[in-house]
């Protein structure tokens, strides 16, 4: 079962109230911070999607392992009978 990472979906960056900042350098810095925050949020959302997929696959594998273990135990019990 190969794992496929969830794609990062880039969302539209919003810059709330940045236009109210009078200092151009500060305004640019704040925009850059908002862009970085948005990129990080997008990456986190993708990582959470991948994690959810991995958890689902692990749970499925755990169920298969438990089923196989019961079968092996039953086969061993049968094989040990005289």
Is residue 17 one of the residues assigned to a domain? no
In this prediction, residue 50 has a pLDDT band, given cuts at 50, 70 and 90, of very high
Higher pLDDT, 4 or 26: 26
pLDDT at 14: 80
Is residue 40 one of the residues assigned to a domain? yes
pTM assigned to the model: 0.69
Is residue 2 one of the residues assigned to a domain? no
In this prediction, residue 55 has a pLDDT band, given cuts at 50, 70 and 90, of very high
Is residue 75 one of the residues assigned to a domain? yes
Is residue 14 one of the residues assigned to a domain? no
With a cut of 80, say whether residue 3 has pLDDT above it: no
| Torsion sign over Cα 5, 49, 13, 21 | negative
Boundaries of domain holding 49: 22-80
């Amino acid at each position: 079962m190969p794992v496929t990472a969830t794609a990062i979906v880039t969302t539209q960056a919003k810059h709330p109230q940045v236009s109210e900042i009078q200092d151009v350098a500060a305004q640019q810095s704040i925009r850059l911070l908002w862009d970085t925050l948005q990129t990080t949020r997008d990456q986190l959302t993708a990582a959470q999607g991948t994690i959810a997929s991995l958890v689902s696959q692990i749970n499925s594998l755990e169920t298969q392992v438990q089923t196989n273990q019961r079968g092996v135990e039953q086969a061993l019990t049968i094989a040990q009978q005289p």
